[in-house]
Amino acid sequence: MNQTSASDVLRALTLGLRVNPTTEAYPRNSESRTDFEEVEIDSLERIAQEVFDCQKCGLCLTRNAAVPGMGVREPLVLVVGEAPGADEDKQGLPFVGKAGAYLDEWLKALGFSRQDTVYITNLIKCRPPQNRDPHPDEIQQCSPYLDRQIALLKPRTILTVGRVPSAHFLGGAHRMEDIHGRVYEFRGIPVVPTYHPAAVLRNPDLRPVVWKDLKNLHTLLVVKGLAGPLPTRSTR
Ligand code: URA
């Protein structure tokens, strides 16, 4: 390798450029220098910026703030909700209203939190007016952000809360009562669907059902050696 080629390769690596695999990696002839191709390096920050600026669907006209998500990288649990509500739209953060406080209780009961072990986001990053269900075209436009987040975050498990995000991962229309209680898989990541915290607040009969789903999720992590025993009630 001559001196010029070596420094070009170093520059490519530093800038995140990729040596074009269709051309010789270290050409001896420095005149044929079409051997670097710029590669887009994705990042959570970049996705967040794109979400803030997004105008791919009509929800950008009614939102106050888009809500990319919050939490830690390589989370033990990636929580995926449906879409921001009124509180989230005001603050630009996911699950910060009543349902969010209840979700935090669920996580705490498992020994987890959005500060150290969890990432929380939504299938749709902008609030649908009056909290209506997201339209299929809105899901189609917005879900690539979630796909990219999953690729970068590398979550150990995914907890989908509510019918809409659960159905999205499973493909097709589903009722929660038909799909919860089992573990599915998305790109090799276990997916546990359960009810939305807001639905459980409205219907406390769902509490034991959700607790069973959450314990299943926890067991998956214990089996992988990623979580210890459940906290006792007094330490939750
Ligand atoms: N409900 C959701 O599905 N997501 C939020 O961020 C808040 C409420």
Contact 104, 184 (CB under 8 A): no
pLDDT in tens, 43-84: 999 999 999 999 999 999 999 999 999 999 999 999 999 999
- Ligand 1 centre distance from Cα of residue 102 (Å): 11
Residue 18 neighbours by CB under 8 Å, 6+ apart: 12, 36, 37, 39
Residue 183 predicted with pLDDT over 80: yes
Pair of tokens at residue 140 = 């189609």
DSSP-derived 3-state class of residue 166 = helix
pLDDT over 80 at 16, yes or no = no
Nearest alpha carbon to residue 68 among 85, 50, 42: 50
The rounded Å distance from CA 67 to ligand 1 centre is 10
CA 176, 181, 186, 190 torsion: positive or negative? Answer: positive
Task: Specify whether the backbone of 187 is left (phi greater than 0), alpha (psi in -120 to 50) or beta.
Answer: left
25 or 174, greater pLDDT: 174
pTM of the predicted model as reported, rounded to 2 decimal places: 0.84
Q: Which residue, chain included where needed, has tokens 């807001």? A: 198
Phi, psi (rounded to 5 degrees) for 145: -65, -45
The torsion angles phi and psi of 104, rounded to 5 degrees, stand at -60, -35
Position 159, amino acid: L
Q: What is the pLDDT of residues 150-173, one digit of tens each?
A: 999 999 999 999 999 999 999 988
Atom index in ligand 1 nearest the CA of residue 99 equals 8
Between CA 193 and CA 169 the distance in angstroms is: 9
Place of tokens 């800038």: 15
pLDDT band at 38 (very low <50, low <70, confident <90, very high): confident
> Hey, where are the domains in the chain?
3-37, 46-235
User: From the CB of residue 204, how many other CB atoms can be counted at a distance below 10 Å?
Assistant: 8
Of residues 16 and 5, more confidence is placed in 5
CA 80 to ligand 1 centroid distance, Å: 9
Average pLDDT, the chain: 88
Whether the per-residue pLDDT at 9 is higher than 70: the answer is no
Specify the CATH number of the domain 46-235.
3.40.470.10
Q: Quick one: pLDDT at residue 172?
A: 87
Residue type (1 letter), 54: C
Pocket of ligand 1 (CB under 6 A): 81-85, 88, 94-95, 99-100, 122, 162
